[in-house]
Chain A
Amino acid sequence: MCELIENQIERYETMLREMWTESAKYLGTFSVNLLVERVVWELSQEYKEIELLQYGQDGITCAGLAAGLNKNPDLPVDDMFVKFIIRYLEILARLLGHEKTEKIAKRLNEEFGRIPFDSKEE
């Protein structure tokens, strides 16, 4: 796997951890993992590889996913992660409310650049 993809995945992993930690403040780790499980299941219809995402009481990691990418270097990593994050935030907005989700999205945007998410668009 080339260094560029490695860096990409590393960046998304940091972003997912941030998102996981921020939402755990509101929902607790148990519910956050259930939410991740739901989004993984939904996205797996399009990207089977997302099932390699590991998550549990200690947080979320892309190590398994990165290893899996060796078999499929052409996977559109950006599209998969962006869809994951948007889907996650959309559900969160409905469950938690738009205001709090916007706060989490804003924090992600500040640190990682623009996430094309608007909770009120739905």
Chain B
Amino acid sequence: MDKLQTGIKNLDHILDGGIPVYSLNIVSGSPGSGKTIFVQNIIFNTARNGLKSLYLTTISESQFKMVRHLQEFEFFSDDFLGDKVVYEDLGTVLRKQGADKGLEYLTQMIKKHLPDIVIIDSFKAIRDFFSDEKAFKAFVFDLAAALSIWEVTVFLVGEYKEQELTLLGEFAVADGIFHLYGQEEKRFQKRYLRILKMRGANFEQGEHLFQISHMGIEVYPRMRPEGEKLQYEVRSVRKGFGITRLDEMLCGGLTEGTITLISGGTGTGKTALALKFLLEGAEKGEKGLFLSFEEPAAQLQVVARHLGWEIDRYLAEGRLDIKFISPIELDVDKHAFEILDMVREKNVERFVIDSISSFESSVSDIQKYKDYLWAIGQQLKRRHITTIFTALNEEPFSPIVVTKAQISLMTDNIIILRYVEDGSNIKKVLGILKARGSNHDKALREYEIAPDGINILGKLDRADMLR
């Protein structure tokens, strides 16, 4: 089936290529949910591909206001007006000549302009011109039939509430339904889009975040773990940290394509250890990406320099990238998708998220957080990217709690960093709790972070140091 490519970022991906041509679609949502911008963005994008749209307004928004508002968007171009984008007023005909003449006028307009796309905004307002539901329903059926004959893809825009979507007659004839709505989350006001129906096409179900900016609409597809069993090739290649004794504890390093959780209390060196893993990769020519939710790139550079690591050279040569997202700005719906985009684009082989605890705190729904992390984890494993997630253990003297959200279950390897008391001193120890499919050193070893880097010291042989 031929598809109409909307050109909206990631929307065609969700729609498996686009909206089936000649389909009748309803774009619903409350006032201010972004319906009009959604369809305007589509018609200006398609105008760039040579398609013509006929935009019929009813009584929703004055033409003057709408065009003035649209000029703020990059997708808008005056060059298309009157040629590829034609605005006509259906409302006046309906008001002055009655609903019966509406269909006739619509057909006349189609004959006059021969559009590829027809939009009626607001379609719900047309209801007011009909005395009863039965008459309106008959009109909707006639309209749907008439429009389909002219080989046009239709968007009917309306201020429908969610509960109306299953009740009103127009939804029965619709081939596709896009529902736009907003939701308040902890720190952000968010906009979501759901595709409730799309006849003759596969589409990704569920709630997809979208944003409206001067660029128009950008959709961030919902991330969720895939239902089918994760199948991926297990490789025997080892990826080391370049810390001799730690690599020995791991029998050569982390297995390629696995996910490792480094859990530890504040100040135990999780960030430094994860960064060292990427620097070692860079030294071997493997591209690394450090995604930091805690420290800006400049601060990480200072830490690395202090430890005698050649971070500047690797950054300059493009073997290492540091991406900092402020925890205040972190929006997991948006960034989870962007993270995978970055990993794909940069052909990353080693990847660090520092820390998933910041990721967790940005999501109000813990299940959603788990779903996102599982989805990211699956994608990374499929791509054989060796990954480290760092997690803050809020009880630095206790190794028991690895993460609150049981994320340890999805990881292949777990390294814990913790403090121990030795008389009046506090020492740091490192242990490997788990190394899936691989042998590993079971001992807890003391370590130090010194100007020459991270050094693994001897075994912790006094149990009374542990509590």
Contact = CB atoms under 8 A, between A and B. Distances in A.
Contact of A38 (B22, B142, B149): B149
Given A41-B111, A95-B22, A31 B145 contact: yes
A31 B148 contact: yes
B152 to A, nearest CB: 11
A27 B17 CA distance: 27
B151 A34 contact: no
B150 interface: yes
Interface residues of A, number: 10
A35 B111 contact: no
B146 interface: yes
A34 B111 contact: no
A37 B149 CA distance: 9
A120 to B, nearest CB: 14
Nearest to B114: A42
A3 B160 CA distance: 61
Interface in B143-176: 145-146, 148-151
Contacts of A37: 149
B151 A30 contact: no
Contact of A95 (B111, B142, B146, B148): B148
Interface in A15-51: 30-31, 34-35, 37-38, 41
A65 to B, nearest CB: 21
A38 B145 contact: no
Interface string B119-157: 000000000000000000000001001101111000000
A84 B22 CA distance: 22
Nearest to A35: B149
Nearest to B1: A97
Nearest to B150: A38
A77 interface: no
Contacts of B150: 38
A30 to B, nearest CB: 6
Contacts of A35: 149
A80 interface: no
A94 B151 contact: yes
A31 B149 contact: yes
A91 B151 contact: yes
Contacts, number: 21
Contact of B151 (A31, A41, A95): A95
Nearest to A28: B145
A43 B111 CA distance: 12
Nearest to B151: A94
Nearest to A36: B149
A30 B149 CA distance: 11
Contacts of B146: 34
A95 B149 CA distance: 7
A32 to B, nearest CB: 9
Nearest to B21: A94
Contacts of A94: 22, 151
B48 to A, nearest CB: 23
A31 B142 CA distance: 9
A56 B146 CA distance: 15
A38 B59 CA distance: 29
A48 to B, nearest CB: 15
B391 to A, nearest CB: 54
A33 to B, nearest CB: 9
B145 A30 contact: yes
Interface in B418-435: none
Interface string A76-92: 00000000000000010
B145 to A, nearest CB: 5
Contacts of B22: 94-95
A21 to B, nearest CB: 18
Contacts of A38: 149-150
Nearest to B2: A94
B103 to A, nearest CB: 11
A34 B107 CA distance: 10
A66 to B, nearest CB: 26
A31 B144 CA distance: 10
Contacts of A34: 145-146, 149
Contacts of B142: 30
A38 B150 CA distance: 7
Contacts of B151: 91, 94-95
A34 B22 CA distance: 15
Interface string B9-42: 0000000000000100000000000000000000
Contacts of A30: 142, 145
A31 B145 CA distance: 6
A71 B392 CA distance: 93
Nearest to B146: A34
Contacts of A31: 145, 148-149
B219 to A, nearest CB: 29
21 contacts: A30-B142, A30-B145, A31-B145, A31-B148, A31-B149, A34-B145, A34-B146, A34-B149, A35-B149, A37-B149, A38-B149, A38-B150, A41-B111, A91-B149, A91-B151, A94-B22, A94-B151, A95-B22, A95-B148, A95-B149, A95-B151
Given A30-B142, A37-B149, A91-B149, 10 more contacts: A31-B149, A34-B149, A35-B149, A38-B150, A91-B151, A94-B22, A95-B22, A95-B148, A95-B149, A95-B151
Closest A-B pairs by Cβ, 3 of them: A34-B149, A31-B145, A35-B149
